[in-house]
Amino acid sequence: MLQVPHPQPAPDIICLSHLRWNFVFQRPQHLMTRFARDRRVFFVEEPIFHPEIAPRLLIEQVDTVRVVVPHLPEGISAEDAIVAQRHLLEQLIEAEGVSKYVLWYYTPMALPFTTHLAPVAVVYDCMDELSAFKGAPSIITARETELMRRASLVLTGGQSLFEAKRHLHSNIHPFPSSVDVAHFAQARRIVAEPADQAPIPHPRLGFFGVIDERMDLALLDAVAAARPDWHLLMVGPVVKIEPESLPRRANIHYLGPKGYDELPHYVAGWDVALLPFARNDATRFISPTKTPEYLAAGRPIVSTSIRDVVRPYGKQGLVRIADDPQAFVQACTAAMAEDPVKRITQADAFLRQTSWDGTWTRIRAQLDEVLRHTDGGRTAAADATAV
């Protein structure tokens, strides 16, 4: 009798991230929760340091993903921290019975404690140009070069980032961040206001996301000064910049970080959604996830001329683009006056072409293709460690 081979189980994923799982729900969370549907996913964060403790791992099951956090002693040297994390990963692999796995990198800085491992594939999901971010270690570019050499598959978080790096790898593909349309489309039906937003008068112009060196604070201040009757709502954590550097006016409101499930309730009450990014090295290659999220929420959008917003959103008339304060104010005024039915119809036509499920499916197909061509589960990364 002909024996029908059983399908091989999908390899586990060990994901190495510079972002914490519970920080802001974005690209890594969207992709890893979907990969966890048919395999184990271990999301390994950067270490947390404590006084007088021995190195150890804390593992927390968050929905379907195992979030793994190394805890190291304060004052440990960089070399000893690498050795400790290497040993902790080895212990994780042994304790969890991990035999066939993919190493999935969001940060090249995880290389020093993972190069000895033998994955069936190495994926580098380059979602940002990390070397351009404030406080980036000087060695990160060299580490990325080494990661590119070891990677079986490279993804980029946007088209402009792909164009900047396409010459660095033979199997590199652009996968701009997508959107959970149903989640953000709730904003079109929500009436109840969050308690901290409800007392703020209209017109409301809002932003949600990380508030850091990528934000054009001077533009925010100038818009607020030019239109004191408008209220600017900034929803999200303040990171890598001093809170004292934020513009302070009676019509600028910092509402702090909110959960992913809360965001539709905030954007539902806005008259315009904003992308007030500075034009600097840190924003040169960004592809803001919140652009399609704002569209799904049914809001008109005004953005500065971020390349991956101008193309495709600006070119298709889905987002108004303006950079100086006067033009930005004019764009916001026009956005509030536009026909919402026409805007939402156009946005929905665009959104039908994209979803996180669709993006994940295409990425999974790329990974499956890599796995089909591995030689007995060996990869360039594994061979490199055997030399």
* Distance, CA of 238 to CA of 240 (rounded, Å): 7
Total length of the chain: 387
User: Which run of H or E residues covers position 272?
Assistant: strand 272-275
Q: Cβ-count burial of 245 within 10 angstroms (0-12 exposed, 13-18 middle, 19+ buried)?
A: exposed
Residue 5 domain-assigned (yes or no) = no
User: What is the pLDDT, as a whole number, of residue 133?
Assistant: 86
The predicted structure's pLDDT at residue 7: 60
Q: 120 and 226 in one domain?
A: no
The total domain count for the chain is 2
> Token digits for 216?
């054009």
Q: Residue 259's closest CA among 240, 236, 243, 276?
A: 236
Residue 136 pLDDT? 84
Are 295 and 310 found together in one domain? yes
Evaluate whether residue 51 is within a structural domain.
yes
pLDDT digits (tens, 9 = 90+) for 259-285: 999 999 999 999 999 999 999 988 999
Residue ranges in the chain whose pLDDT is less than 50: 1-2, 4-5, 376-387
pLDDT at res. 376: 42
| Residue 152, in any domain of the structure | yes
pLDDT at 194: 97
Same domain membership, residue 190 and residue 173? no
* Predicted local distance difference test score (pLDDT) of residue 226: 98
Task: Kindly state the percentage of the chain with pLDDT values over 90.
Answer: 88
Can you give the CATH number for the domain in which 234 is found? 3.40.50.2000
In a domain, 3, yes or no: no
Taking only the tens place, the pLDDT of each residue in 110-145 is 999 999 999 999 999 999 888 888 888 899 999 999
The confidence score (pLDDT) of residue 375 equals 55
Q: Do both 162 and 292 map to the same domain?
A: no
Residue 1 in domain? no
pTM across the whole model: 0.87
- CB of 117 closer than 8 Å to CB of 42: no
Same domain, 272 and 196: yes
343 and 217 belong to one structural domain: yes
Is the same domain home to 363 and 250?
no
Q: Does 326 share its domain with 381?
A: no
Per the rule left: phi > 0, alpha: psi between -120 and 50, beta: everything else, 317 is left
Residues 133 and 260 placed together within one structural domain of the fold? no
H/E stretch holding 307 reads helix 307-309
Which residue range is the domain that position 314 belongs to? 181-351
Domain identity same for 17 and 152:
yes
239 and 301 in a single domain? The answer is: yes
CA torsion 110-111-115-117 (nearest 10°) is 20
Q: Looking at the structure, do residues 192 and 283 belong to the same domain, yes or no?
A: yes
